[in-house]
Structure 1
Amino acid sequence: MKRATMQLLGAVSTASVSFSVSAQVADADGHHRLWWVVKEAIQPVMEKYDVPGMAVAITVEGKRHFFNFGVASKESGQKTTENTLFEIGSISKTFTATLASYANVSGSLALADRATKYHPALAGSSFDQISLLDLGTYTAGGLPLQFPADVNNHDRMIAYYRGWRPKYTVGTQRVYSNPSIGLFGYLAAKSMGRSFDELMQGQLFPMLGLTHTYTAVPQDRMRDYAYGYSKDGKPIRVTPGVLDAEAYGVKSTAADMIRFIEANMGSGGRDNRLAQAITATRTGYYKVGDMTQGLGWEMYPYPISLDQLLAGNSEAMIFKANKIIKMEPPLPPRPEMLINKTGSTNGFGAYVAFVPAKQIGVVMLANKNYPVPARINAAHRILSALEGQSN
C-alpha cells in the first residue's frame, strides 16, 4: 500500500524544522484529523523542552499512522522518520519480560523458581530466597535503581549480588530497579542456554517481525541511529553497562515499536507459544495505587483519568519504595486495561501505551530526555482522540 506523505514547516524553539507525516491507510479524513491532534499535542512539548526530533506512531484497529517531527541529528540536519533508531530506555524491560515469559511457556524456567537455580555462583546468597518473579516485578527486597559505579564487569556483578542483602521483606515492597529486572533477563537467557543478546537478536526480534530493533546497532544501520541530546544540548548516546541490554539498552524505530504494540494487542499470526508468552506478560501480580504491575508492563483499569496515569508514572514510583497489595491469585490478562511503559536514557525519552479492548495504541520516541509528565499528557490527549476513531 502506498503511503501518503506531506510536509509542514513549523518552529521548534528558535529553529525552523520540517514535520513529515506518512500513513499506511487510505482514510484521508481520519488521518488528517489525527495529524492535527498529534501536532497540537507534540509541537508545544518540543518547543518547551527543546526536543530536536520525535517519531510518533499510532495504531487504530490495525491501521498504522506515522508522524515525524524535527531532526535525528542537529549536526547533520538528518530528518526524523519512522525508521530512525531511538534509544527506548526502560521500555527495553518489556522485551526482557517477553523473553522470560517465552522461556516460561516453553518450559525452560518457572517464574516461581529461586534465582540461584539458574546460576550456581549465586548459591548461598540472599537469592536462595528470591524468585524469578520477585526479580521481574521489582519485589526482591530493595535492589537499587542502578548498580554502584564500580560494578562494571561480570565478576563484579556476581560479587555484588552475592554480597547484597534485602532491605525489605521479599514480596512486600516495589522498588523499581535495573539490577532486579536485569538479573531476571540474564537468568532467563541462561535457562535457555544462550546469551541474552543472541536470544534477542537471533530469536525474539525476528519472531516478532521486528527488523530494525537491536541490543547493539550494527555498523550498516548507524546512519539511522539518532543522536540523543543532553540537558546542555550536547550529542550523546547510551554508554554500555552491566546488564544494559536487559534493562535499558534496546534501540528501535517507531515502525517496529508500533508492530510490537500490535503484537501485544493480539493482532497478526505468530508462533502459539510466543502469543501465549506475550499475553502472559499482562498478568497482574500486585497493585500500587491504581497501577497494576505485570511483567515489564504497568497497567490501569480503562478508562483512566490523566491524574491517575500521572500518579502511576510519578517520580515516587521510580525513586521510592512503595508498599504493594499482592493479588492472590494473580489477575489474568484483561483487555479493558491501559498498558504503558516509560523509557529514558541520558539523551532520549520514550513512552508507549495501548488499550487492547479498543485496539488503539501510541508510540512516542524522542532524542531528548524530557519530563515524563509531559509525555503522559501528550499521549493521553492522543489516546483520547484515538478512542473516538475506534469502534
Structure 2
Amino acid sequence: MNNDFVAETAARFDIPGGAVGVLHDGQEHFFNHGVTSVENPLPVNEDTLFLLGSVTKTFTATAIMRLVAQDRVSLDAPVREYVPELTLLDDREFTVRQLLNHTSGLDWGTLADTGEGDDALARHVAELATLKLIAPVGERPSYSQSGFNLAGRIIENVTGQTYEQAMTSLLLEPIGLGNTHFDRDAVMTRRFAAGHEKGEIARPWRHWRGNNPGGGIAASVKDLLAWARFHLGDGDGVDLAEMRRPTALLRGSNLGDAIGVGWFLREIDGVQAIGHGGSSNGQFAELLLVPSRNFAVVSVANQGPDGIPFNQAMVRRALEHFVGLLDRDPEPLPYNAVQAAEVAGGYDNDAMVMTIDDTGAGLVLEVLIRPEIRESAEMELPADHAPFPMALLPRDEYMITDGAFTGQRGFFTRDTQGVIIGVDLAGRMFGRVG
C-alpha cells in the first residue's frame, strides 16, 4: 500500500481527490491524492474535510448508546416513549433497537427540505406522517435514512439540545474530534472537498439539515481514524460489544451479513469485521474495522459514480497489505435462459423504477429516479446511471458485474407459490410491476 497505488487507482476511476487512512497496531498511515475541487483546487491531505454520508449513522448510533449508558434511553423501549409527537400511516410501535437495525418497516425517506433552522429535525419527523411503510415491524431489514433521522430526534428530545449540540457534547468533544463538523460555516472556513459527478462540480454541496443524523457529517481522515480508535478501544462507558452483536440478518447484501446497532457486520476471509459506507452528492466514504486485528481503514473520494469502486479498491488493498485478509466477490452463475426469463421485468418503489432486461446472453439492470420526483424536487438530483450488467448467484441472489457498482449484491423475493414478486437493491425493496 503506497501513494503510487492510490494515484494509479484514482487515475483509473477518474477521481479528482481521495484520501486513505489506516490504523494498524496503534500506528496511523495516510495516503492522499489529488485536489479538493476541479474549479478551486487545493491538495488533499489527511486534514481535508469530506462529507461522510451514511457513515454518520455510526455516530448517531453511538450517541444513542452513550445515552443508554447514562440510563436515559433503553434500546428496547418504544420510540414513541422518546418521540411522543411521532405520527405514521399506521399505529405501529417499534423499539429504538429496531430503528437502529433498520427493521422498523419505514421506507428509505422523504425528499422534503425542512430548512436550516433549529426546528429542521422536528419538521422532518413531522413529514414521516406521509412516509410509506414497506414491511411489518421486525419482519426484515430495509435501509431507512428517515429512520436514523428519527433517532436523531430521540437525541434532541432526551437531551433538550439540538442534535448537533448534543453530538458535540456526547461524542465529538469527549473523543477529541476537533475536525468533525455538521455546520456548513465551520466547514467553509477549513480545507474541504467538493463533490463531483463525471468531472463537474456536484451542487448542492450538502442537503438539508434534517438529514444530519443519517448523513450530515463532514470529517477528515485523521479524525475518522480517531473515531475508529475509539471503537477499537474500551468505549469509555459505551457498550461496544452490544453494538457489534448481530440483531438482524442480511441476505444477498454487500453491506454485510448482519446488522448490529449502527454497524454492518460481516466476515472477511474468516475474520469478523464491522463497517459502514456512505455517499452524498458526489462524495463517497468507506469505513471498516477489524477489531481482532486492531485494524481500521477509511477511504474517501470526491467523484461519482466511481468513488465507490475506488474506495473498495483502497479498503481491499489495505486489508491485504496490513493484515493479510483477502476480500473477494462471489463467483456468479453462468447465464441460464430459463432463470433469466424468470427475473426479467419491471420493479418499482416510491422513489425509483427498475428494469431487468434479458439480452439473450446476459442480464442488464437499470434503475431510474421517477420522473415525477425529478420534476417536483426542490434541488438538482444526481443523473441516472447507465444500465449495469448483472449475473445471478445461488439462492435467488444476484450481483452487478461491471460499472461503478461492481460487486453490489441483492436478492429476489418469492411469494408462497414461488413466483418472484420483488427485488432488493442496496437494502431497498422494489415490488414487481405487472
Same fold (TM over 0.5): yes
- Residue-by-residue CA offset, 1:271-324 (whole Å, 9 max, x unaligned): x32xx34443222202113611012211113435xxxxxxxxxxxxxxxxxxxx
Partners of 1:339 and 1:166 in 2: CA distance: 28
Q: Which amino acid aligns with 1:299?
A: L
Q: Any idea what SS the aligned residue of 2:247 has?
A: strand
Aligned to 2:428: none
Partner of residue 166, structure 1? 133
The yes-or-no answer on 1:65 pairing with 2:29 is yes
Residue 298 of structure 2, aligned match among 355, 363, 373: 363
1:81 aligns with 2:45: yes
Instruction: Tell me the alpha carbon deviations over residues 230-261 of structure 1, each in whole angstroms, 9 at most, x when there is no partner.
Output: 23512545333253210010000010001111
In the alignment of these two chains, the number of paired residues is 316
Distance in 1, Cα, partners of 2:216 & 2:57:
9
Give the structure, 1 or 2, with the largest relative contact order (CA under 8 Å, sep 6 or more).
Answer: 1
Match of 1:264 in 2: 231
User: Conserved in 2, the CA contact under 8 Å of 1:58 and 1:360?
Assistant: yes
Q: SS in structure 1 opposite 2:281?
A: coil
Compared with structure 1, are the counterparts of its residues 227 and 163 closer, same or farther at alpha carbon in structure 2 (3 Å cutoff)?
Answer: closer
Are 1:146 and 2:124 an aligned pair?
Answer: no
Please say if 1:137 is aligned against 2:101: yes
Q: 1:114 aligns with which of 75, 78, 83?
A: 78
Q: Deviations over 1:7-28 (max 9, x none)?
A: xxxxxxxxxxxxxxxxxxxxxx
- CA distances 1:59-108 after superposition (whole Å, capped 9, x unpaired): 11000011111111223331001000100110000000100111111111
- Normalised by the length of structure 1, the TM-score is 0.74
Q: Give the structure 1 partner of residue 284 of structure 2.
A: 349
Q: 2:264 aligns with which of 298, 302, 306?
A: 298
> Is 1:229 matched with 2:196?
yes
Whether 2:243 is the aligned partner of 1:286: answer: no
The aligned counterpart of 2:205 is: 238
* Aligned with 1:206 (options 162, 167, 173): 173
| Inter-partner Cα distance in structure 1 for 2:186 and 2:100 | 32
Gaps of 5+ in 2: 326-434
Asked whether the 8 Å contact 2:78–2:95 carries over to 1, the reply is yes
Tell me the distance in 1 between the aligned counterparts of 2:113 and 2:222. 37
Match of 2:220 among 245, 249, 253: 253
Q: Displacement, 1:156?
A: 5.1
Q: Aligned equivalents of 1:184 and 1:219: distance in 2?
A: 24
Q: Is the CA contact (8 Å cut-off) linking 1:186 and 1:243 kept in structure 2? A: no
Cα RMSD of the aligned pairs, angstroms, is 2.5
CA shift, 1:200, in A, is 1.4
Displacement, 1:124? 8.2
Residue number in structure 2 paired with 1:381: 317
Percent sequence identity is 24
Task: Please identify which structure carries the higher helix content.
Answer: 1
* One-letter code aligned to 1:358: R
Q: CA deviation at 1:216?
A: 1.2
Contact kept, 8 Å, 1:115 with 1:127, in 2: the verdict is no
Identify which of 82, 96, 101 aligns with 2:65: 101
Which residue type is aligned with residue 301 of structure 1? E
SS at match of 1:174: coil
For the Cα contact (< 8 Å) 2:258–2:266, is it kept in 1? yes
Residue ranges of structure 1 left out of the alignment (5+ in a row):
1-33, 305-335
